[in-house]
Chain A
């Protein structure tokens, strides 16, 4: 699709800016049905409805910041994070991402159901650009943290959703990304694993200049980790400021 959007992605983790959105709009094209969408590939004037999942969104996230994205379901938080990850392309605006992004976008965590946990971790490590020896060094630690046990050599289709998410979180948080994106991840694990994950995140945030983008409906988690909140409603940015004020704003605007 020829979009007017400009996307600048670098691996430069020394850039003081981690993520920058300027007037970013993401439009989903809704066709009447799949046939209409198919025909549109050859006949661009095919009619479709537009839905703006993100509308004229502008914000800058600096290196090392931890930012909570607050908003009701369908507000456009996940879409924004998909754009940062690079799996969704905006229709217009400018997106800058500096540094390597590790994202946990949903429960399935991007694993191949046919491969075993171990094979998935090896593949993901390779996709991340790690050498075999780096991967094999990291593997036991990830499996251990995720508490997968003997299931590590079973195909992932046999995993429960909790196991998949635990493994996804363990991987995403172990590979030392510059920018870590967590979308509704802590909601699924049991309380003990949540506590462990929170501890891991604390460690990550205390350490190097990791930038955290965090979607959650748990306001206490948001408050624990993030100093800043962005409140998004109907695709638009409604609030950008300190976390306490953001939470207050979100509470009053959603009630």
Chain B
């Protein structure tokens, strides 16, 4: 297991310049085929933010007032923007070997590194659409506080977490379409149960809140709000941190085990 981990770090280092080229290629693939390719990167999240704002303020009763004093639109945008990265990683990131089959079985390429560059590409897109958050904050005159310095750290944790998710899930998705379908089916529930569009601290039942806190999407949505809206240090909230760390650790171990066990089999089944 240690050997698998070591070779992963070594491969990422050896292939660093190729990782960059492949990440650029992945972004090209995202924006290609449409005359307004780059525009769509910003248009889709913006439309989502506006539609959710509309639906929540007019359709769903009484949920559009300020949330703990934070303007509703700021609160919503800060929670929603990271979701686009997470949903890309949940669906696309769990199936990277089928997205790049030629790197698996035509060229000599270390397969865990496919997750690295895929995550990097979508992380770069996330950094671009983060601009939407700052525009909304500026328009709503919502100031940055000292707690915003958690942002780079939090973004990196999100990047690593979903890279490891991709390393864990992709071998399983490569050998089983069912697994990929399961992930697709779970993506929407993970969103609705994440507290992105409702305030998780409003959940009255202690046990229910405890269960919901094991959803990593909840952790990231809540943490981004801690950083940009609610203003507190993430580590001061053990009920937020510990369930997430538990999930991270289990996933990390599973990722290494699965890569170790299935790593060489993936090329045989694609």
Q: Tell me the A residues contacting B by CB distance below 8 Å.
A: 1-3, 28-29, 34-35, 37-38, 41, 44, 82, 85-89, 101, 103, 105-106, 108-112, 114-115, 119, 123-124, 126-127, 129
- Whether A3 pairs with B28 at a CB distance below 8 angstroms is no
Q: Which of B104-136 contact A (CB under 8 A)?
A: 104-109
Query: Assuming the A-B contacts A37-B176, A41-B175, are A87 and B106 also in contact, with contact meaning beta carbons closer than 8 angstroms in the complex?
Result: yes
Contacts of B267 on A, CB cut-off 8 Å? Answer: 82, 87-89
A35-B178, A41-B171 known; 5 new pairs, CB 8 Å cut-off, are: A1-B260, A34-B176, A44-B261, A89-B264, A110-B102
- Whether B268 pairs with A35 at a CB distance below 8 angstroms is no
- Whether A126 pairs with B175 at a CB distance below 8 angstroms is no
Query: Assuming the A-B contacts A37-B176, A123-B22, are A115 and B268 also in contact, with contact meaning beta carbons closer than 8 angstroms in the complex?
Result: no
Chain A residue with Cβ nearest B100: A112
The one of A28, A35, A105 in contact with B176, judged by C-beta atoms closer than 8 angstroms, is A35
Query: Assuming the A-B contacts A37-B269, A126-B21, are A86 and B32 also in contact, with contact meaning beta carbons closer than 8 angstroms in the complex?
Result: no
- Whether A41 pairs with B104 at a CB distance below 8 angstroms is no
Interface residue B41 (Cβ < 8 Å from any Cβ of A):
no
Contacts of A85 on B, CB cut-off 8 Å? Answer: 107-108
Interface residue B237 (Cβ < 8 Å from any Cβ of A):
no
- Whether A41 pairs with B106 at a CB distance below 8 angstroms is no
Chain B residue with Cβ nearest A1: B264
Interface residue B6 (Cβ < 8 Å from any Cβ of A):
no
- Whether A106 pairs with B106 at a CB distance below 8 angstroms is yes
Contacts of A82 on B, CB cut-off 8 Å? Answer: 105, 267
Interface residue B172 (Cβ < 8 Å from any Cβ of A):
yes
Interface size class of B (residues with CB under 8 A): 20 to 34
Contacts of B28 on A, CB cut-off 8 Å? Answer: 115, 119
Interface residue B186 (Cβ < 8 Å from any Cβ of A):
no
The one of B17, B105, B263 in contact with A87, judged by C-beta atoms closer than 8 angstroms, is B105
Chain A residue with Cβ nearest B21: A126
18 contacts between A and B (CB under 8 A): A1-B262, A2-B260, A34-B176, A41-B261, A85-B107, A86-B108, A89-B264, A101-B108, A105-B105, A110-B102, A112-B25, A114-B33, A115-B28, A115-B29, A119-B28, A123-B25, A126-B17, A127-B18
Q: In the bound complex, what is the Cα–Cα distance between A161 and B27 (angstroms)? A: 26
Main secondary structure of the interface of A (DSSP, over half): loop
Interface residue B258 (Cβ < 8 Å from any Cβ of A):
yes
Contacts of B179 on A, CB cut-off 8 Å? Answer: 38
Query: Assuming the A-B contacts A1-B262, A89-B264, are A38 and B106 also in contact, with contact meaning beta carbons closer than 8 angstroms in the complex?
Result: no
Contacts of B265 on A, CB cut-off 8 Å? Answer: 1, 29
- Whether B106 pairs with A110 at a CB distance below 8 angstroms is yes
Contacts of B25 on A, CB cut-off 8 Å? Answer: 112, 115, 119, 123
- Whether A34 pairs with B21 at a CB distance below 8 angstroms is no
Shortest Cβ distance from residue A16 to the other chain B in the assembled complex, whole angstroms = 22
Contacts of B262 on A, CB cut-off 8 Å? Answer: 1, 41
Q: Would you list the 8 A-B pairs with minimal beta carbon distance, nearest first?
A: A110-B106, A89-B264, A38-B176, A86-B108, A110-B102, A126-B21, A1-B264, A37-B175
Query: Which has the most chain A C-beta neighbours within 10 Å: B25, B105, B107, B179?
Result: B107
